[in-house]
Amino acid sequence: MAACAKSERGEGGEGDSNATLTIAGTGKPKNFDPIFNDDGESFRPARQIYDTLIQNKAGTADLEPALATKWDVSPDGKEITFTLREGVKFQDGSAFNAAAVCFNFDRWFNMKGAAAQSQMIYYADTFSGFAKNETDSAGDPIYKSCTAKDDKTAVVALNKFRGALPAALTLTAFSISSPDALKKYDADKVTQSGDSFTYSSYATEHPTGTGPYKFEKYDAASGTTTLVRNDDYWGEKAKTAKLVIRTIETETARKQELEAGSVDIIDFPAAQDWKGLESKGMKVEVRPAFNILYLGMNEKNPKLKDLRVRQAIAYAINRDQLVKTKFPEGAEVAKEFMPSTLSGYADDVTQYNYDPAKAKSLLAAAGASNLTLKFYYPTEVTRPYMPDPKAIFTSIAADLTAVGIKITPVARPWNGGYKDDIQQAGKQDLHLLGWTGDYNDAYNFVGTFFGREKPEFGFTDKTAFAQIAAADAEPDADKRKADYEQVNKDLVGKYLPAVPISHSPPAIATAGNIDGLVASPLTDERFFTVTKKS
């Protein structure tokens, strides 16, 4: 399917350059100041309006130049020198240069106000603390300073090496805004009234970047963003005059909309609709899977503290069968907790091939033959890594029952208690969860899950935590790769805090007259290359 879509790419010829390209997303953007956001729906319009210093090469998670043509990391990893692209202008006409880059870095670091800082999820994740921390969870700042050596050279200094940098700078959150516009529209004025926030007019009406499309208007009631072509864009100009991003929450409604021809591109079509859409002449672009679904096992339960029991559970699940029947085409059984494209993926980890007899004997050896486990699964939701939670639950539960484990099913609505019960209260014995990676770094997966103690797993091994922290703090790329390979081997073979289940590819679908869309594993699509034939 992917191959067939690929061969059609770029052969569509010229489209109508006055066309309006309409895209259906799944939710409303929160606002248009990328630094305050962390969700795909807010990033979708931001990716068209802004550029980052470094970006992901279209269709991959590999780094490539964007606003910076070159970046050099000092041997100790504490200094990154960016050589900037020349001749770039912000959409308000002001010049893009090293001073503008430093203005952005300093702005993020110096952001004040609890409202502002609690919204800067990715900043806090990547750079830890702020000049003045306002929340307890912020740590010591990693960012030290930014110096504009000359117009086209910006040097970012760090207090300590951080493995995720510079890859994390591809995050849309770190888009470069026009300093003039930031000042003019009072961008830092995030205020809190009662139990809620309000953002400045920069974030709601005047986002200004260097990207291929300019912001025109946003209709909040319907969640519709209208962008127009930026004729001064430094790169290849956008192929359509207008870009409209609509919010259509349900999969069925998005599919109907594409079939009716009222939108040109829909995100996340339901896997069971892929074939039907293709048979009607639409194209389904399957993104490379950059995610993981796992079965968490909570070691707060003393029985699950025993490695043999956790291994028994891993052997008991027929993952090949599960992935073949319950996941979309292109899904793979996961061997470890990150996709194979990431540096640090280990090829030779312990395999838990389907073996119910072995599972039974391990359970018997651990004295856990009469095990009863509370198995949580979410309702009212599908995720890109988890197309049908109930079906996946049912299949795994049947496998576990077959080896003599009694399952007490607990279904909870996603926002109505599931995440709270799992991630905060730790009420479950077993649960389904996963996520889609943010950028090309192993820590973003294994560190996020197993870098420290969490109620989700009840996993308390200090050596493991230290091992992951050491890998993240290793500035030598080859050494870091080897460290993470060891981490992955140990996580699967020695600790097994969860069973990796699958990597499954989410899709994006287009109408037949649309060409040039490059699907991204990070859902990081930029639409300026897309043509629409009338």
Partner 1 sequence: MLRYVVRRLLGVIPTLFVLSFLLYVWLRSLPGGPATALLGDKATPEKIAALNKTLGLDQPLWVQYGKFVGRVFTGDFGSSLASSRPVISELADALPATIELSAAALLFAIVLGIPLGYLSAKRRGGYFDNSTVIATLVGVAVPVFFLGYVLKQWFAVDLGWLPPSGRITAGMDQTKITGFLILDGIMTREWDVVWDAIRHLILPAITLGTIPLAVIVRITRASVLDVLNEDYVRTAEAKGLRARTIRSRHVLRNALLPVSTTIGLQAGLLLAGAVLTEKVFVWGGIGSLLAEGIEKRDYPRLQALILVAALTYVLVNLLVDLSYALIDPRVRVR
287 touches partner 1 by CB under 8 A: no
Strand, helix or coil for residue 304: helix
How many residues touch partner 1 (CB under 8 A)? 66
Rounded Cα distance between 503 and 61, Å, is 15
Strand, helix or coil for residue 332: strand
512 touches partner 1 by CB under 8 A: no
- Any bridge partners for residue 154, and if so which? 82, 148
Please list, in sequence order, all residues whose beta carbon lies within 8 angstroms of the beta carbon of residue 90, skipping any fewer than 6 positions away. Answer: 96, 100, 177, 178, 180, 181, 208, 209, 210
Q: Toward partner 1, which CB reaches closer, 22 or 97?
A: 22
| Site pattern 197..236 for partner 1 (x: CB under 8 A) | xxx----x--------------xxxxxx-x----------
In the complex, what is the shortest distance from the CB of residue 487 to partner 1, in angstroms, rounded to a whole number?
A: 20
196 touches partner 1 by CB under 8 A: yes
In the complex, what is the shortest distance from the CB of residue 367 to partner 1, in angstroms, rounded to a whole number?
A: 32
Among 44, 85, 412, 532, binds partner 1 (CB under 8 A): 412
Asked, as a colleague might, if the bond just before 141 is cis with ω within 30 of 0, I would say no
Residues 306-335 binding partner 1 (CB under 8 A) are none
Among 85, 246, 503, 526, binds partner 1 (CB under 8 A): 246
Rounded Cα distance between 441 and 168, Å, is 8
The string of DSSP letters for 465-489 reads HHHHHHHHT--SHHHHHHHHHHHHH
Among 144, 242, 390, 427, binds partner 1 (CB under 8 A): 242
417 touches partner 1 by CB under 8 A: yes
The H-or-E segment that residue 8 falls in is helix 2-8
Q: Which backbone phi and psi does 193 adopt, to 5 degrees?
A: -125, 115
Q: Toward partner 1, which CB reaches closer, 99 or 241?
A: 241
Q: Using CB under 8 A, which of the segments 195-203, 268-276, 330-338, 487-495 binds partner 1?
A: 195-203
- Of 525, 533, 524, nearest in space to 8 by CA: 533
Q: Where are the beta strands (DSSP E) in 338-385?
A: 372-379
Residues found in the chain: 534
Amino acid at 44: R
Amino acid at 157: A
86 touches partner 1 by CB under 8 A: no
Among 50, 103, 435, 443, binds partner 1 (CB under 8 A): 435
> Which positions touch partner 1 (CB under 8 A)?
20, 22, 28, 30-31, 38-39, 114-115, 118, 121, 124-125, 135-137, 192-199, 204, 219-224, 226, 242, 244, 246-250, 252-253, 256-257, 259-263, 383, 412-413, 415-421, 423-424, 435-436, 438, 448, 454-455
